[in-house]
Chain A
Amino acid sequence: MMNLIQSITSKVPSLPLFATSESRQASGAAEAGTSTGISGTSGTPGKEKAGKQLRMETRDLTVRYGSTVGVKNVSLPIYDNQVLALIGPSGCGKTTYLRALNRMHDLTRGASVTGSVLLDGKNIYDSEVNPVIIRRRIGMVFQKPTPFPTMSIYDNVVAGLKLVGIRKRSVLDVVCERALKQAALFDEVKDRLKSPGSSLSGGQQQRLSIARALAVGPEVLLMDEPTSSLDPQSTSRIEDLIHELKNQVTIVIVTHNMQQAARVSDNTAFFYVGDLIEYGPTSTLFTKPKETRTEEYITGRFG
C-alpha cells in the first residue's frame, strides 16, 4: 500500500513525508503530549545544526504591488526540517514574503516579484516551472481555517489528491488517515469522516486545513499566522503539531506572537517596513539581538 502511495506522489518529486512507522509514532506522541496538557515546550534551536541542509533560499527577493514595495531585497536561507519564524509589526511584509515562497502572488493583480526563490537549488520563478506543481510541493495554511464548506471532512482532506485525478478509494483512504494523523486530528474525527468539514470547531478546522495541505505531500509548509483566530488551547495543539511536523517537513511560519516564535522556531527573521532587519537562530535573536530595532520590537517598545 505504501508503495502505491509513493508511486502516486512521486509525480511530485517528493519525499520523506509519506508516513512511515516513525511519523505514526510521532503523531501518537503529539496526542499524548496534548492530552497530558504539556504545551508550548520550548524549541530546541540549534540542535540539528550539525546536519542542517538548505531546503529553500531567497535571493534579493522583492515584491511590489504596483509601485508600492511590499518587501525589498530579502535574502534568507530556509533549512530542511527546521522551523523558520517570520516576525515583525503589522504591514512589515512578512506575509508578503511568505506568499512569494509558493507563488501566491501570481494571483494578485498588479503584484510583481523579482529576485529568486530557490527550492532545492532551482528558482521556482523560472518560466518553465509550473506554479501548480510548486504549490503542491510548498503547501500553505492560512490565518483563518478554510475547510471547503460543502465538502465532508474526508473530501476536504483528499481534495488535493482528487485534483490530480486520484480517485482510487483505497489510496484516498490511506492518505486521508495518514494526513489526519499527521495533523493530530484523526482520533477526533475518525467516526465522522462523512460529516461536513465546517461542523468542526475552529481549532479542529485549522488542523483539518493542515491535514489537507499535508495530504498532497508537501516538502515545505508555509503557515500564515495559523493560530491567530484560535483560542489558547487550540493554539497550543497547533504549536505541538508544528514540533512534530518539522521532522517531516520544512516549516515557515508567520506569527504576530513573539512567544510563539520563540516556542516553535529554530530560526527567526525580523521584518520591518519591507526590510529584513535581522535573521538568526531563534535563541540568539531573542536573547542577544544585534539590531536595536529588533531589540525594541521583541521587548515590546513598538509594534
Chain B
Amino acid sequence: MTSDSDTSNNGNKEARELLRRPPSAIYRWLGDRIFAVVVVVLGMSIIALAAAMAYVLYDEGSLSLWQFGFWDFIRGTTWDPAVQLVFGALPFLFGTVVTSVAALLISFFPAIAVAIFTAEYAPRWLASIIDNLIQLIAAVPSVVIGIWGIFVLAPWMRDHVYMPIFTWAETSYPALLPILGNPMGYGMATATIVLSLMIVPYTTALTKDAIKSVPVEQREASRALGATKWEVIRMAVLPYARGGILAGAILSLGRAIGETMAVAMLIGNKNTLPFSIFGAGATMPSVIVNEFREAVESLHLSSLMAIGFTLFIIALVVNLAAAYMTRKFSIKGGQVV
C-alpha cells in the first residue's frame, strides 16, 4: 500500500516536472516552422497547378484564338481541319450544353427520388445495397459504359424507341423528321441517356448528404405538428437541404460537361450543325479525344487546345456557380445565410 502510493506520487511528480519544463528550441521553433512551410507550400501548389493548367491551355490554344478571335472562335460554325483550315467551336459548345443540360434534366428528379428513398424510406440493409450499387455505377470506367452503350443500349434504343418514333413521325408528322434526325442509334439522344445515367450517382450522393444533414429537430418539429412522412420531407427536409441539392445538381452538370469517353463512343461524331435529336453530334471533349492524334496542322492542334481552354473556363464557372448556390441557399444553424 505504502509502496503503491509512493510510486504514484513519484509518477505524478515526474509528470508535473515534465509538464512545467519549457519545450526545446528545436521542437518549439523549428518544428512549428517546418510544419507551417510544408502545409503552405502544398496548399499553394494547388493554386499554382490550376493557374499553370489554364496558362498552358491558353498558350497552346493562342495560335487559334489569335487567328480567329475568342468570340468568333466559339461562335464559328465551321470546323474544317482538312481543306479550309477554319475552326469554329460552336457545334461542340452546342453539343456539350445540350447533352449536359438534357442529361441533368432527365436525371435530376429520379436521382432525388433515389436519395429520398435511401435516406428516408428504405430499411438500412436495402439503403446500403442501393448506395453501394450507385457508387459502383460511379466507379465503372466510362469506356466500359461506352462499350455497353455501343453494343447494348444503342441498338436497343434504335429498335425499340427511335425507329418506332421515326416511323410514326414519317407517316403522321413528316415535318418532325429533320428535328428527329437519322435514328441509327448513335447520336445525341443515346449520348444524353448514357450521360444522365452516369451523373445520377453524383446528384444522388450529394442530395443524400444534404438530406442527412437536416437536423432531427426540424423533422420532429414538423412531425409534432401532425405532418405525415411526405409532409415532413416537403416541409422540413427539402427546404433545409435545398442548398446542397442545388450544388449537387450543378456539380453533376459539371461532370456531364466534362464526360469524354462514353460520349465520344456514342454520339456519332459529326462536326457540323445542325444536330438533330437522334442524329450524330459532337461535344467539346469528344472532338478533342477524336482528333488530337490526327491534328498534324499546328492550327488544328491549337484549336483543340483552345477548346480545352474553353472547357476549363466553363468548368470554372460551373464550380463557382455551385459554390455560390450553396452559400446563397444553405441554412447554417437555423439561419438562412
- Residues of A near any B CB (own CB < 8 A): 102, 104, 107, 132-133, 135-136, 139-140, 142-151, 159-160, 163-164, 196, 198, 205, 209, 212-213, 216
Residues of B within 8 A of A132 (CB): 226-228
Determine if A209 and B335 form an interchain contact, defined as CB atoms under 8 angstroms apart: no
Determine if B336 and A146 form an interchain contact, defined as CB atoms under 8 angstroms apart: no
5 A-B pairs closest in CB distance:
A146-B221, A140-B224, A160-B225, A136-B226, A150-B239
Bound CA span A145–B218, Å: 9
Asked whether any CB of chain A lies closer than 8 Å to the CB of B222, the reply is yes
Knowing A163-B235, A196-B336, say if A150 contacts B331 (CB, 8 Å): yes
Determine if A146 and B235 form an interchain contact, defined as CB atoms under 8 angstroms apart: no
Compute the total of residue contacts between A and B using a CB distance below 8 Å: 77
Determine if A198 and B226 form an interchain contact, defined as CB atoms under 8 angstroms apart: no
Taking CB as reference atom, which chain A residue is nearest B225?
A: A160
Asked whether any CB of chain A lies closer than 8 Å to the CB of B291, the reply is no
A–B complex contacts, Cβ < 8 Å, 8 sampled:
A139-B224, A146-B221, A148-B221, A148-B235, A148-B239, A150-B336, A151-B239, A160-B226
Residues of A within 8 A of B222 (CB): 148, 159
B238 to chain A, nearest CB (A): 9
A224 to chain B, nearest CB (A): 10
Residues of B within 8 A of A133 (CB): 226
Determine if B225 and A142 form an interchain contact, defined as CB atoms under 8 angstroms apart: no
Chain B's interface: helix, strand, loop or mixed, by majority? Answer: helix
Determine if A135 and B223 form an interchain contact, defined as CB atoms under 8 angstroms apart: yes
Determine if B331 and A149 form an interchain contact, defined as CB atoms under 8 angstroms apart: yes
Asked whether any CB of chain A lies closer than 8 Å to the CB of B80, the reply is no
Bound CA span A140–B224, Å: 6
Chain B residue total in the interface (Cβ 8 A): 22
- Residues of B near any A CB (own CB < 8 A): 217-228, 231, 235-236, 239-240, 242, 331, 334-336
Q: Which listed residue (B225, B242, B331) contacts A159, Cβ 8 A? A: B225
Bound CA span A132–B230, Å: 12
Q: Which listed residue (B224, B227, B236, B239) contacts A102, Cβ 8 A? A: B224
A265 to chain B, nearest CB (A): 21
Residues of B within 8 A of A143 (CB): 217
Determine if B226 and A163 form an interchain contact, defined as CB atoms under 8 angstroms apart: yes
Taking CB as reference atom, which chain B residue is nearest A109?
A: B124
B337 to chain A, nearest CB (A): 10
Determine if A150 and B334 form an interchain contact, defined as CB atoms under 8 angstroms apart: no
B55 to chain A, nearest CB (A): 42
Determine if A213 and B334 form an interchain contact, defined as CB atoms under 8 angstroms apart: no
Which one of A142, A163, A216 has the highest number of Cβ atoms from chain B below 10 Å of its Cβ?
Answer: A163
